[in-house]
Each structure stands twice: as C-alpha cells, then as structure tokens.
A and B are shown apart, each in its own frame.
Chain A
Amino acid sequence: MAINRAFLGRAYPAPEPYEVTRGKIREFAEAVGDPNPLYSDPATARDEGHPDVVAPPTFPIVLGMAGAGRAVTDPELGLDFSMVVHGEQRFRYTRPVRAGDVLDAVTRITDIRSLAGNELITLESEITDPEGAHVVTAVNMLVVRGAADGAGATSEAKEGDA
C-alpha cells in the first residue's frame, strides 16, 4: 500500500519535553558497548568543559523515535511497519545532548516518494532546549519495502537503497 501523500509537511510535536538523565545516557552507552568516560563520569565530562556527562552521537535517535513513532503509526498514513527498514540517517549537532537537558522535539514529514518499488519517507526531528535554541537535528529516511503501487508483496531482502 502506498503512503498517503497528503501527510507530506505534517508536523508532530513531542507531547512532552524529554528529560535526559545520567542513567539513560549510561544505559545507551552500555548498549552500544562504548566505555568512553564522558558518557558515564561527570568529573571527566567537566574536565572537558561539559556541564555534565554527554550522550553518544547517535543518542538523539531516542528522541527522534518518540516523535517519528507518533508519525509513522498514524493509520491514515498507510505505512506497513512490518516492511520498514532504515534507509538513511543524518544528525547535525549544535552541541551534544547532555544529562540535565530538557528537550523539545518536533518531527516533520519532509519527503514521501517511490523508488524501485519501495516507498521512501523522510522524517526530520528538530530538537531544541527550553529557550528554543537548536541542539541537534535528526533526519531519518525509512524504506517500506515493496509498498509502491504495482510492486509485489515482497522484494529482495535488502536493507536501504534497494
């Protein structure tokens, strides 16, 4: 089933700010097996000039997922989540996310198109602090395999740019 083009440009503000804790950063760093002390030791982080421990560069996906989740599960959008693979991901940082942050996120659907029998949808999450200052933008392109009109129900097992 093709994705509903009427959703292009729609914005999904996160329902509440995301509070970043030391514990969540540590959990994420452990899950990716990264022992960098700037993720777990506030004293080391301060020595490097940060007010508290910082989060790994891919951590903002956690906030992006919250916003993107609301967007992609809207039944009117017509996205078959069981056929979704991650096509592309980009982050642009003004500064690292750190413990103590209270972050707002707005996720927008910035592109929907067909390519080689798949449907591609791009979600852009802008993450800001309470004063509205930019922290990081996460751009997430999802591939819905075999979803374009006229395509078969399954396509070759391949993640991303099929």
Chain B
Amino acid sequence: MTAAVRYDEVEAGTELGERTFPVRRVDLVRYAGASGDFNPIHWNDRTAKAVGLPGVIAHGMFTMAEAVRLVTDWVGDPGAVVEYGTRFSAPVVVPDDDEGAEITVSGVIKEKRGDNQVLVALTVRSGGTRVLARPTVVVRLA
C-alpha cells in the first residue's frame, strides 16, 4: 500500500482541488444493481413522492462513493484510506432527464496525525446545497 503523496510534502490547509461528478437516473439503476440497494425512492418517482420526497434521490452511498474519489485519486492507492465517514444532510434529487444532477467535491487537509496519517475534510454539494455533513477521510500517506 503505497500512496503517491508524501506526508512530508503536505500540511494542514493543503487543498485537494475540486471535482464534479454527474449523476443520472441510469447511474442510480446501475448502482442499485451493483450494491443490492433496491429501495424504490432511488428509481421510482411515485414512491419517492408518496413518502414526501421531492422526487427520486441518489443513494447516499453513491454520493459517498463519488466524494471519496477526490482522495483516492489524489493518493493513487485506495488501500491507503484508514477511515471514511459522513452524515447525509440533504438529498441529491436526480431529475428524469438527460442531464441529471451534479455532485461537486472539494477537500482540504485539516490535520496531520501520527503514523503518516492526515485527516481530509470534504465539502460535497449538489445544486448549491451541502448534501453531506462533515464528510471526513483519514488517509495514510507515504
């Protein structure tokens, strides 16, 4: 497990940049199949609206999977991730059109820890709203 980023070369405040990931209905269908989460609020407008949602929403785990790519692409080796967690603060509503929605992710190193580990705080938005609350990744650098 070798990260491509050296612990000595980063400091608290180092930014990881920003990425935008698309999410369309077809992505949710594919994710439902791969993950086994077939909750119909992620693919059926009638069900979503019947339970009081504005429409079909992305799986929180889909959003979480996109968000961590900012970190795994930065370090290269996904095996370097030690902890990853978030609360889900707002739904990513995915309209039934060709564009779908977008998930925008940025990150900054909040803290350097022992054992070459750093804590990365992510900011994850869709349509201008923060959809994850305090998403953090602890990753071990080289």
Chain A residues within CB distance 8 Å of chain B: 27-28, 30-34, 36, 38-39, 48-50, 54-58, 61-62, 65-66, 69, 81-93, 95-96, 139, 141, 145, 154-161
* Residues of B near any A CB (own CB < 8 A): 1-2, 21, 27, 30-31, 33-37, 39, 41, 47, 51-54, 57, 59-62, 64-66, 68-69, 72-73, 76-79, 81-91, 133
State the total of A-B contacts with C-beta under 8 angstroms. Answer: 144
Q: How far is the CA of A155 from the CA of B53 in the complex (A)?
A: 9
How long is the Cα–Cα vector from A155 to B60 in the complex, in angstroms? 19
Measured between beta carbons, the chain B residues less than 8 angstroms from A154 are: 51-52
Q: Is the interface of A mostly helix, strand, loop or mixed?
A: mixed
Asked whether A161 lies within 8 Å of B89 as measured between CB atoms, the reply is yes
Name the distance in Å between B101's Cβ and chain A's nearest Cβ: 14
A48 near B77: Cβ-Cβ < 8 Å: yes
Inter-chain contact B1/A159, CB cutoff 8 Å: no
Q: A157-B53, A161-B87 are in contact. Are A54 and B78 (CB under 8 A)?
A: yes
**Least distance between A5 CB and chain B CB atoms (Å):** 23
B64 — which chain A residues lie within 8 A by C-beta?
Answer: 58, 89
In the complex the two chains form, is B34's CB within 8 Å of A30's CB? yes
How far is B69's CA from A85's CA once the two chains are assembled, in angstroms? 23
- In the docked arrangement, what's the CA distance between A84 and B84, Å? 22
Question: Complex Cα distance A109/B74, Å?
Answer: 35
A139–B62 CA distance with the chains assembled, in angstroms: 16
Residue in A49, A58, A91 whose Cβ sees the most chain B Cβ within 10 Å: A58
Evaluate whether A159 and B81 lie within 8 angstroms (CB atoms) in the complex, with A31-B33, A82-B47 already known. no
Partner of A157, one of B59, B78, B91: B91
Q: Are A96 and B78 in contact (CB under 8 A)?
A: yes
B91 touches A158 (CB 8 A): yes
Please indicate the chain B residues that have their CB under 8 angstroms from the CB of A139 in the complex.
85
**Which residues from chain A contact B84 at a C-beta distance below 8 Å?**
57-58, 90-91, 93
User: Among the listed A66, A86, A92, which residue makes an inter-chain contact with B60, where contact means beta carbons less than 8 Å apart?
Assistant: A86
Find chain A residues with CB under 8 A from B34 CB: 27-28, 30-32, 62
